Every structure is written in C-alpha cells, then in structure tokens.
Chain A
C-alpha cells in the first residue's frame, strides 16, 4: 500500500494487486500494539496501521484488485498474469513494484528428527488461528525461536488460556526486540532457554513430547543436557524467508537470504522492476517497510514517466560484523537510508560509512535491533566506486 501511495503521488495510474481478500498483509493478524511509532508518531495495532493506509489509498483513487494472485511475471514483456475469481488477466505495466513479503520457515526445513504429528505450527499460522479464526491451537505449548512473532505468541497464548512452558532459542541472545522479551516473557514468567534447541519431537497422531538440549558454539547438541517437555503444541518462530520466487529467473536475488538485491530507490537489477518490504530484507518494524515501500513506489512512477534515467549504481559493501544490509546499491536521486543488522552483540562500537561519509558511536548493538540512519545524497560524492558500511570497535 505504501508503494502504491508513493507511485500515485507522482501522478501515475496505479493498480495494487493482492491475493488475500483484504489489503494489509501480515498486519491484519497482528492485533497487538507497537506499530506506527515512527511513521505516524502514534502507537497503533497492526489492523489500525493497515487501515490508515487503506484510507490513504482510497483518497488517492488507487485501484485495488484483491483476491487476485499474480501467477506469473514477464518483466521483459512488461506483463503480469493475474488469476482471480473473475478470470485470468494480463496487465501491462511501465514499472513494477514487487512487495510480496516473507513466509515463515517451515518445520520441515529445520530437519528436526522424530515423528510428524499434528500440533506443530508456525507462529504466524497459530496467530492467524487465535486472532482471526478464534481457535486455540492446543493446550500446552513450547515455542522454538525467540523472534518477535514467537515472543508475541507466547504472550497471546498465555492470555488466551494456554500454558506456555518456555521459549527455546539456539543463539545465546534473543532474536526479537528487547521490549518484546520484557513484555511477553519476563512479565509472564515464561522461561527463555538461550543456547538451546529442539532435538526431537514425538507423538502418535498429536504431538506428545518435545526434547530440547543445550547447544555448543556450532549449534551441536551437548550430550547430557537433554530436557523433555510434555506438550501437545510446538510453535515455530524460526525466521522469515523473503518471497522472491516469482522473479527468480529475472532479477538478482541474494543466494543466502533469498531477498531481492536492490538500490536505495528500491530498483532491482532490472531497470523497470522495484521491490520493497520483507521480500528484500526482514525488517523489525512496519514503519521501515512503509518508508521503503513508499520510496520504491515513487521511483517506479518516475521510471514509468521516464522522468529520470537510472543513474550509476554504486555498490555498498557490508563489513565483517554486518549480517544484514540494505540497500546494496546507491543511486544519487534518493537519500541513502541504511538498515543494518550486526552479526552478534557488540559493545562500544562505531558504525561507519566509508569513505568518510558517516560515523556514529553506540554503547551496545545487537542483531535483534536494526540500526538505521539516513545520509543525505549531497553528502555522497557521485564519483565513488564503492561505499563500505562497517561496525568497528570504538578506539576513542
């Protein structure tokens, strides 16, 4: 929706295609607070945040097509093929913004040994059942993964009357935001097992037992540390995977994260194709997603209007301590907003952008909180061959 808005405000005709019956994506099932503090300077629930955008979309006369699945994209023919209950459509475009979000990593991808009973849910599916379908996924649950969705589900399930016996995280620190650890676990006395993982699941029909163990530095289970939980429900919050398959044969995709590789305008490796949101990197906050969505929409419109020719793309290189970096290229027609996730928690560091573009000190940084900052385009010499982003020990 933010991309549609960004594009419409440049005066182009926009079609917003969504396969669910309602716009908003994952926001619709996130009925908790914590959305919009940056973008609207107000604390909203997910559906409220989505509704704000729906109103904006309406006010701009943006055409939306819901219940419509983009089946295939042919970017060289500038055509999208759409399936809906009213038929199959070929839609011609001058520019395309892909905002297909992310999916949850499924149980099968974890290669956890054991049986394959009912009762193993991804957190998003469990959230959907509880918040939208009005059904509980079980009685007693263990949660694997301390990402935000897992933390929020620990609280939600407890509030709705399920017993949550713990949250298991293989890293030595939580994956979700600090505020969520406090508000969802500590406040409810739910134990967090750091440096632990699930080593087995058992159950005939329905899940009956989950085994966990401590892990070493290589995430291998340590013998003799096994614990058993008698639970009928295992909730997985073990990462989101950008959904980029629809363009996998056409644009550059990061082979490790599967996210689209884009510049700061949202442009992919094809001039007329833009992407934004969780299909690029997994963001902490929807506010960031909206900002980058808006930007991608704006530049897609400028491209469609042929108002600008794509400028030289300056590669942005992540330093050693950086796990996630957005964007991967810089184009001069937009300011450079950088989003960084460090690989591990670090103290007394400085985030620097070389050569000599930006530097800021942090007492503490951790992978669960993204660092973001903006560098105005005037500060970046257009002649650079590359830009380097690093997090270094602060010597001063």
Chain B
C-alpha cells in the first residue's frame, strides 16, 4: 500500500508519524525546504484547553482530545511543551456572562480543570494584568509549545520508522484511472499512490480541486504578532486571553516556551488570492500593541525583537473539513485547519488513521512490531549541567564553541541540524534557535553561513536565507 501525505505542516506531520506505526510504503511531500514552514510556523503556539469551540463541531471534539495527547507526544518527540494554564479575563459584567458560557461549553467538550477566579485570585496569579479585571476563567490544561518543532520532530520520527520525506517537492496534479488515484504528480517526479492525504494547509481546497474532489473554499485570515525578548523577563505566567467574540479569540499576551513574550494576533480577512500574504502592516501592528496593552499595561516596547504574520485557512462554516473520499477512492481531505489545528493535530491523526481509513476506506492496517516512538533531539548543552556540558566538550570540542551567543547555541548543534536536513539559515534558526535571540543574527550570521557552506560543500555566496531566490551575498569583494 502506497500512502502519500501532501504537506508537512503540523497536521500532515502528525498524520505521517501515526501512519509510520503501520506496515505501508509512506512518502511525505512538502513544497518548502523544511517541515512546518506554512501556517505551522506563524501562530500562537497554544495547546488550547478546548472550552471555546462550539460543542458538536469536529473542532471541539478533536481539540480537547488533542490537548490530552500532547504531553506524551512531546515527551516522546523531545519537544518543549509547558502546561502553563490560560486565563480568559473579563472587564465587564457582560464579559463575565461570556465566561460562564465558556465554562458550560468546556464541560460539554469534556474539558477538565476549569475554574472561575475573582479579581484577587487573578491578580495574584498575574500581577501585571490590567487592574480593572473583575474575573477570569482559568483553564489549567492549556499549554504552549514550539509548533514548527513539533512538525519537524514528527517528520523525523516518521522517517526513523521508515517513511520517506521529500522536501522542495510540490504536488501539481494527480493521475486518476477508473476513480482511483494511480500517481501523484510533482514538479519533479511521478509518485505511485493508493491513498493521498491532503494536508496542505492554506491550499487544501486547491489541491482537492486538482483531484476533482469537493472542498469548501478557503480564504486567509491574517494574524500579526509582536515578539518581545526573553531578557525583558516574565511578563505573564500563563496565556492571557481577552473575552472572545463570536469571531475570534482576540489579541493575547502569552509566554513562549523559551521565555519570550508573544502578543497578537489580530484578525484580517484577506481575499482568496492572497494566500501568501504574510506581510505585516502598520495598522495591524498598532492594533496588536493597543489591544495587548489593554490586557497588560506597560509592555516593554523597547524589547521588541521581531514582528511576523500568519494566515488562518478559514472556511464558511469555520470548522475543520476532514473527509475520506471514494471518488476518486482514497483521497483524504484534512483541511480548514484554522485554530485549534495545532492542538488537535495528534487527535486528527488518530481520527484519520484509526477511524477514517479503516471505517470509510475499509483498509485494515497492520501495526509494525518495531515502531519506535522516541526521537533523539539535538542536544542543547546550555540546558544541562556544567558537568554534563564539560563531558560533551571532552568528547568533541565543537560542543564548546558558542556560535550564537544570545541563545548559547554551539557549533555542534548547528552541524547536527544541517546533518538532519537543514539547508538554509532559516532552517537552522527554526531547528536550533540560533539567530533567534536578542541580536537576531547580527553577531553570528556570518559564522553560521560558513558552517553551512562547509557542511554542504556550497560556496558562501550560494547560501540562502529561506526559499529559492533568498540569496544573501553577491559574490566576492575582490578575487
């Protein structure tokens, strides 16, 4: 059985990892140079508790289930996950009513650990919050993670268990014979397929169309963010939401797993032709700053190190769209992956592999005996003890050469990232956090480029920042 997963965002990656537990021929195709560079790269990184999705939707059931699965998954994949809890804060009586409604929804959605807190309780948890807060809904199961790392780790783990990962490979069509998919056509090859998983994020309606399958139309809903350096210290301890409206969860303030603070996202509906429009705007960033400052006054604007934007793939019904098609047989849509797609991903994988494939496509899969769920992460000695670090240096002195001083990333970590497939500066950045700190690469970019050129045998001027065309240097000053 040939199974092709198209798209290595969190959703495709989680499905691929799940599929790699079974005896089949598994190929993952991704048009970007790395897993996790689509929607999965630019979002809030929250593993939601699951109280705000309307009961009865796919979103609701998969979110709370996904939340329950996260801790173990991240432990196996060695990805940071912190269950820091979340607070939805209310400033008016009307907003308190919404908190009660969320509490009720949460109970219907099977969310544990919800609690209403009064003003004093809230402020003792979060002293920097706007003092006009009158109540909050606390959800102890909410957590944070590093979304692109989850995707990368899932793919690595799937590959460890026999899957094949083809980055820089874009699917451009299908060869369908007698209502069955025979081949997936890519920009470079033709790949035999029985089952195709469409996990293409912002493009899942377009890919479905190529297969002649219905998928509700998507339009991007952009969210912009501002990131504050970890050296500003803890601003909040948990995820802080305003009271949501029907439309959006609002602009939040939350810690990131490595100690920074993220504020955002706003919500702007773009046309369906702007599916790559991840630019930030003056109005957008202003809105983020204003609304976040209402939640948490005196945000240290002089510690901002980065702004960015992400796109939510929105469907008219605002729900996930997950189906197994029979015409052509074997095409599985996993689309409409708005929030909480990151949270739901492991539950979506379970739903697709353990329910849709056997029940709707009537395929019975056989488990591998030797599936290994454990991934080895790239060691980061700065997180360990001085004794351990010393031992590592004794084994290889490159563990003792600091390349990125802001985040204390060693030469060996950079080399290991490259050996695992990182081919561009951004790929190294997202895998190691080098160039991700307060100087944003000002001190270390040249060093990382040299290591990358050396490991890959490229000339320095051929090193790219991210995608094709993102050249950095223009030849030599003098020969």
What is A's interface to B at a CB cutoff of 8 Å? 19, 67, 69, 71, 81, 83-88, 90, 103-104, 106-109, 111, 113-119, 122, 124-125, 128-130, 132-139, 160-161, 199, 202, 204-206, 232, 241, 245, 248, 256
Contacts and interface: CB of A to CB of B under 8 A. Distances in A.
Contacts of A248: 231
B369 to A, nearest CB: 43
Contacts of A88: 386, 389-390, 393, 400
Given A113-B280, A135-B476, A69 B402 contact: yes
B405 A19 contact: yes
B177 interface: no
A83 B403 CA distance: 11
Nearest to B305: A108
Interface string B281-311: 1101100000000000000001011111000
Nearest to A221: B282
Determine chain B's interface SS by DSSP, over half rule.
mixed
Contacts of A232: 474
A118 B394 CA distance: 37
B226 A111 contact: yes
A118 B471 contact: yes
Contacts of B440: 106-108
Contacts of B227: 108
Interface residues of B, number: 55
B464 interface: yes
A103 B386 contact: no
A71 B408 CA distance: 8
A87 B446 contact: no
Interface string B223-251: 00011000100000000000000000000
B239 to A, nearest CB: 22
B400 A85 contact: yes
A87 B226 CA distance: 37
Contact of B446 (A125, A205, A241): A125
B474 A139 contact: yes
B457 interface: no
B173 interface: no
Interface string B449-479: 0100000000011001111111111111110
A138 B465 CA distance: 14
A138 B474 contact: yes
Given A83-B408, A136-B477, 11 more contacts: A69-B408, A86-B400, A88-B400, A103-B442, A103-B443, A106-B306, A113-B307, A116-B308, A125-B445, A136-B475, A136-B476
A124 B446 CA distance: 11
A133 to B, nearest CB: 6
A216 B236 CA distance: 35
Contacts of A106: 305-306, 438-442
Contacts of A139: 474
Contacts of B450: 133
B53 to A, nearest CB: 31
B279 interface: yes
Contacts of B394: 87
Contact of B279 (A113, A130, A136): A113
B470 A122 contact: no
B257 interface: no
Nearest to B389: A88
A103 B282 CA distance: 26
A135 B442 contact: no
B164 interface: no
A262 B162 CA distance: 60
A85 B446 contact: no
A305 B382 CA distance: 34
B477 A87 contact: no
A246 B460 CA distance: 32
Most central of A19, A106, A248 by chain B CB within 10 Å: A106
B438 A103 contact: yes
Contacts of A114: 279-280
B439 A19 contact: no
A135 B393 contact: no
A113 B466 contact: no
B131 to A, nearest CB: 21
Interface string B108-137: 000000000000000000000000000000
